Amino acid sequence: MNAGILGLGRYLPEKILTNADLEKMMDTSDEWIRTRTGIEERRIASDDINTSDMAYEAAKVALENAQISAEDIDMILVATVTPDQSFPTVACMIQEKLGAKKAAAMDVSAACAGFMYAMITAQQFIQTGAYKHVLIVGVEKLSKITNWEDRNTAVLFGDGAGAAVIGPVSEGKGILSFELGADGSGGKYLLQEGDFLSMNGREVFKFAVRQMGESSLNVLDKAGLTKEDVDLLVPHQANIRIMEASRERLGLPVEKMTKTVHKYGNNSSASIPVALVEEMEAGRIKDNDLIIMVGFGGGLTWGAIALRWGK
């Protein structure tokens, strides 16, 4: 049984924090942020909106889009490193809110690669026939672990949620191949220390450029496809320079890569599904398109998926 995407949804908080706003908060400039990262503004959730609230909103839209009722979900996987609390999990919180009574529920912790990990976990249950519908969500409220005194990290991140319903699709469609990986020895480069996120930007940058390119090529190879077959690259939206490096590695023109980093910043596990929803809503994804999704993050972790669009 092939597994694919049956529906998608997203939620972005309303409040916009621009580079100009950040200039007033710390020693930085719009020019530096734009040229080094491609980010112009990001969304920040207000105090009364927690991770589970954003996850719930995105999940509702994904279920509507998939035309599946909450009672038909067999499992909920929520990829997040900023849960409301360690337990109950965000997955359990939204299971109750959605009324997904028969769904098993757990959170997946793989930082910015979390959505890739969740999608491939879901695929295993679908492929074996054990489950029919798995709801996966990538959601982060990174603003609550951002050190607003640290300009090295504070300018990069944003909040948001993206969700997908994963289920059986016809032969030749859905997930064609994947690669998941981890290198714990690089954990020191991107981590939560005490209350705050901390990062060695240059080390993460080098790792990301290498891994995003290699993993994308590996999944193409595993699927028996080549760079020329790719219709759309959906990379983790961390930094436009990292994204551009992966695009060039695949030899793709600019219009074949999704870009949302300028308006949302890096919202970690939410970035790939949010970008995918926007492509779908803009009508830029056609039946049978070959999509490469690729992410990397703290852990260090990474993941890539080659997916043939359609049911």
Site string for ligand UT7, 61-100 (x = CB under 6 A): ----------------------------------------
Instruction: Give catalytic residue positions.
Output: 112, 236, 266
Residue 262 binding ligand UT7, by CB under 6 A: no
- Of residues 205-234, those binding ligand UT7 (CB under 6 A): 205, 208
Residue closest to ligand UT7 when measured from CB atoms: 201
Whole-angstrom Cα Rg for the chain = 18
Distance in Å, CB of 201 to ligand UT7, minimum: 3
Residue selected from 238, 272, 275, 290 as contacting ligand UT7 according to rule CB under 6 A: 238
Identity of the residue, 57 or 140, whose beta carbon is nearer to ligand UT7 in the bound complex: 140
Nearest approach, Cβ of residue 304 and ligand UT7 (Å): 15
| Comparison of 188 and 286: residue with beta carbon closer to ligand UT7 | 188
Residue ranges binding ligand UT7 (CB under 6 A): 28, 32-33, 36-37, 112, 151-152, 155, 190, 199, 201-202, 204-205, 208, 238-239, 266, 268, 297
